[in-house]
Amino acid sequence: MEKKRAASGVPGAVDTSGEPITLSERNGFEIYPMPMFATLAVADVAAVAHWYVQALGFGIVFQMPAVNGQPSLVHLRRRKYQDLLLTLAHAGAVGQAPTSLTLSLQTEDVDALAAQARAADSVGVSAIEGPIDTPWNTRDLRVTDPAGHRLVFTSLQVNPDPKQVERWNRLFNATGKTT
Protein backbone atom coordinates (compact mmCIF):
# COMPACT_ATOMS: atom_id res chain seq x y z
CA MET A 1 0.00 0.00 0.00
CA GLU A 2 1.33 3.44 -0.93
CA LYS A 3 2.28 5.61 2.02
CA LYS A 4 1.74 9.37 2.24
CA ARG A 5 3.96 11.52 4.41
CA ALA A 6 2.72 14.39 6.52
CA ALA A 7 4.20 17.78 5.72
CA SER A 8 6.28 17.65 8.92
CA GLY A 9 7.87 14.25 8.11
CA VAL A 10 7.10 10.91 9.73
CA PRO A 11 5.00 12.06 12.72
CA GLY A 12 1.39 12.04 11.58
CA ALA A 13 2.17 10.12 8.39
CA VAL A 14 -0.81 8.19 7.05
CA ASP A 15 -1.41 5.68 4.27
CA THR A 16 -3.88 6.21 1.42
CA SER A 17 -6.82 5.10 3.62
CA GLY A 18 -5.92 7.63 6.31
CA GLU A 19 -4.52 5.04 8.73
CA PRO A 20 -1.24 5.75 10.54
CA ILE A 21 1.70 4.20 8.72
CA THR A 22 3.42 1.17 10.18
CA LEU A 23 6.80 2.23 11.53
CA SER A 24 8.06 -1.24 12.44
CA GLU A 25 7.04 -4.41 14.27
CA ARG A 26 7.72 -5.65 17.81
CA ASN A 27 6.67 -8.96 19.40
CA GLY A 28 4.34 -9.62 16.45
CA PHE A 29 2.54 -6.26 16.76
CA GLU A 30 2.71 -3.40 14.27
CA ILE A 31 4.21 -0.24 15.64
CA TYR A 32 2.29 2.81 14.44
CA PRO A 33 1.47 6.24 15.86
CA MET A 34 -1.36 5.41 18.28
CA PRO A 35 -4.31 7.74 17.69
CA MET A 36 -5.71 6.90 21.13
CA PHE A 37 -4.68 4.82 24.13
CA ALA A 38 -5.43 4.60 27.83
CA THR A 39 -2.84 4.76 30.58
CA LEU A 40 -3.77 2.91 33.77
CA ALA A 41 -1.76 3.38 36.96
CA VAL A 42 -1.54 0.19 39.02
CA ALA A 43 0.34 -0.94 42.14
CA ASP A 44 1.59 -4.24 40.62
CA VAL A 45 2.30 -3.74 36.92
CA ALA A 46 3.56 -7.30 36.35
CA ALA A 47 0.55 -9.00 37.98
CA VAL A 48 -2.02 -6.76 36.28
CA ALA A 49 -0.31 -7.18 32.88
CA HIS A 50 -0.34 -10.97 33.37
CA TRP A 51 -4.06 -10.82 34.19
CA TYR A 52 -4.82 -8.81 31.01
CA VAL A 53 -2.92 -11.38 28.93
CA GLN A 54 -4.56 -14.42 30.56
CA ALA A 55 -8.09 -13.11 31.12
CA LEU A 56 -8.67 -10.88 28.09
CA GLY A 57 -6.21 -12.00 25.43
CA PHE A 58 -4.03 -8.90 25.36
CA GLY A 59 -0.44 -9.28 24.21
CA ILE A 60 2.64 -7.47 25.45
CA VAL A 61 3.95 -5.10 22.81
CA PHE A 62 6.70 -3.63 24.97
CA GLN A 63 7.88 -3.66 28.56
CA MET A 64 10.18 -1.06 30.14
CA PRO A 65 12.98 -2.21 32.41
CA ALA A 66 12.07 -3.00 36.00
CA VAL A 67 12.42 -0.52 38.84
CA ASN A 68 12.47 -2.15 42.29
CA GLY A 69 11.27 -5.41 40.76
CA GLN A 70 8.34 -3.89 38.81
CA PRO A 71 8.26 -2.93 35.13
CA SER A 72 7.82 0.84 35.02
CA LEU A 73 5.54 0.49 31.97
CA VAL A 74 3.91 -2.35 30.02
CA HIS A 75 2.32 -1.64 26.64
CA LEU A 76 -0.57 -4.08 26.01
CA ARG A 77 -2.61 -4.56 22.84
CA ARG A 78 -5.61 -6.77 22.17
CA ARG A 79 -6.13 -5.69 18.56
CA LYS A 80 -5.35 -2.64 16.45
CA TYR A 81 -6.23 0.56 18.34
CA GLN A 82 -6.95 -1.33 21.57
CA ASP A 83 -3.81 -0.27 23.39
CA LEU A 84 -3.37 0.03 27.14
CA LEU A 85 -0.31 1.33 28.94
CA LEU A 86 0.09 0.06 32.48
CA THR A 87 2.30 2.27 34.62
CA LEU A 88 3.46 1.97 38.20
CA ALA A 89 1.21 4.03 40.46
CA HIS A 90 2.90 6.58 42.70
CA ALA A 91 3.20 5.40 46.30
CA GLY A 92 0.57 7.90 47.51
CA ALA A 93 -1.88 6.85 44.80
CA VAL A 94 -1.91 3.14 45.68
CA GLY A 95 -5.26 2.20 47.18
CA GLN A 96 -7.12 5.17 45.72
CA ALA A 97 -10.22 4.31 43.70
CA PRO A 98 -9.69 4.49 39.93
CA THR A 99 -11.45 7.09 37.86
CA SER A 100 -15.11 6.69 36.96
CA LEU A 101 -14.06 6.39 33.30
CA THR A 102 -15.09 3.14 31.62
CA LEU A 103 -13.18 2.01 28.53
CA SER A 104 -15.30 0.38 25.81
CA LEU A 105 -13.70 -1.94 23.27
CA GLN A 106 -15.25 -3.77 20.32
CA THR A 107 -14.96 -7.55 20.08
CA GLU A 108 -16.33 -10.16 17.68
CA ASP A 109 -17.27 -12.94 20.10
CA VAL A 110 -18.13 -11.58 23.52
CA ASP A 111 -19.25 -15.01 24.77
CA ALA A 112 -15.86 -16.60 23.98
CA LEU A 113 -14.09 -13.67 25.66
CA ALA A 114 -16.30 -14.11 28.74
CA ALA A 115 -15.36 -17.80 28.92
CA GLN A 116 -11.65 -16.94 28.60
CA ALA A 117 -11.93 -14.26 31.29
CA ARG A 118 -13.75 -16.58 33.68
CA ALA A 119 -11.11 -19.29 33.18
CA ALA A 120 -8.32 -16.93 34.33
CA ASP A 121 -7.41 -16.66 37.99
CA SER A 122 -9.11 -13.82 39.81
CA VAL A 123 -6.59 -11.20 40.92
CA GLY A 124 -7.21 -8.20 43.16
CA VAL A 125 -10.71 -6.82 42.60
CA SER A 126 -11.06 -8.35 39.12
CA ALA A 127 -14.62 -9.22 38.19
CA ILE A 128 -16.54 -10.41 35.14
CA GLU A 129 -20.21 -9.47 34.55
CA GLY A 130 -22.26 -10.72 31.64
CA PRO A 131 -22.43 -10.95 28.77
CA ILE A 132 -25.72 -9.08 28.76
CA ASP A 133 -27.92 -8.00 25.86
CA THR A 134 -28.55 -4.26 25.82
CA PRO A 135 -31.62 -2.34 24.58
CA TRP A 136 -29.41 -0.82 21.84
CA ASN A 137 -28.76 -4.31 20.35
CA THR A 138 -25.26 -4.96 21.58
CA ARG A 139 -24.01 -7.81 23.73
CA ASP A 140 -21.70 -6.48 26.43
CA LEU A 141 -19.18 -8.04 28.78
CA ARG A 142 -18.35 -5.79 31.75
CA VAL A 143 -14.94 -6.37 33.26
CA THR A 144 -13.16 -4.89 36.26
CA ASP A 145 -9.39 -5.33 36.20
CA PRO A 146 -7.37 -6.22 39.34
CA ALA A 147 -6.80 -2.52 40.08
CA GLY A 148 -10.48 -1.57 39.75
CA HIS A 149 -10.48 -0.08 36.22
CA ARG A 150 -13.66 -0.84 34.29
CA LEU A 151 -13.83 -2.03 30.70
CA VAL A 152 -16.76 -3.03 28.50
CA PHE A 153 -16.24 -5.40 25.59
CA THR A 154 -19.12 -5.05 23.16
CA SER A 155 -20.33 -6.82 20.05
CA LEU A 156 -23.46 -6.64 17.96
CA GLN A 157 -26.26 -8.95 19.03
CA VAL A 158 -26.46 -11.87 16.62
CA ASN A 159 -30.25 -12.04 16.89
CA PRO A 160 -31.42 -8.54 17.85
CA ASP A 161 -34.92 -8.03 19.18
CA PRO A 162 -37.02 -6.97 16.12
CA LYS A 163 -39.08 -4.61 18.30
CA GLN A 164 -35.92 -2.86 19.49
CA VAL A 165 -34.60 -2.63 15.90
CA GLU A 166 -37.87 -1.03 14.80
CA ARG A 167 -37.80 1.34 17.79
CA TRP A 168 -34.25 2.46 16.94
CA ASN A 169 -35.14 2.86 13.25
CA ARG A 170 -38.09 5.09 14.19
CA LEU A 171 -35.87 7.11 16.53
CA PHE A 172 -33.16 7.64 13.90
CA ASN A 173 -35.69 8.40 11.16
CA ALA A 174 -37.42 10.96 13.40
CA THR A 175 -34.12 12.83 13.77
CA GLY A 176 -33.42 12.73 10.03
CA LYS A 177 -30.77 10.01 10.34
CA THR A 178 -30.83 6.68 8.59
CA THR A 179 -29.58 3.32 9.77
What is the pLDDT, as a whole number, of residue 30? 72
In a domain? residue 27: yes
What is the pLDDT, as a whole number, of residue 159? 79
pLDDT greater at residue 177 or residue 61: 61
Top mean pLDDT of 26-30, 92-96, 128-132 is at 128-132
Q: Are 82 and 37 in contact (CB under 8 A)?
A: no
What is the pLDDT, as a whole number, of residue 93? 60
Q: For 161, how many CA atoms within 13 A lie in the half-sphere containing its CB?
A: 11
pLDDT greater at residue 70 or residue 21: 70
In a domain? residue 10: no
CA distances from 125 to 18, 67, 78, 110, 141 (A): 39, 24, 21, 21, 16
SS3 of residue 171 by DSSP: helix
pLDDT greater at residue 23 or residue 90: 90
Q: How far apart are CA 6 and CA 12, in angstroms?
A: 6
- How many separate domains does the chain show? 1
What is the pLDDT, as a whole number, of residue 147? 92
Q: pLDDT tens, 126-143?
A: 999 999 998 888 999 999
Kindly report the pTM of this predicted structure.
Answer: 0.75
What is the pLDDT, as a whole number, of residue 48? 95
**Which domain, by its residues, includes 143?**
23-174
Phi first, then psi: give them for residue 145, nearest 5 degrees.
-80, 175
In a domain? residue 9: no
In a domain? residue 179: no
97-118: average pLDDT: 89
What is the pLDDT, as a whole number, of residue 170? 82
In a domain? residue 111: yes
In a domain? residue 6: no
CATH number of the domain residue 147 falls in: 3.10.180.10
In a domain? residue 105: yes
When the pLDDT of each residue in the chain is averaged and rounded to a whole number, the result is 83
40-51: average pLDDT: 94
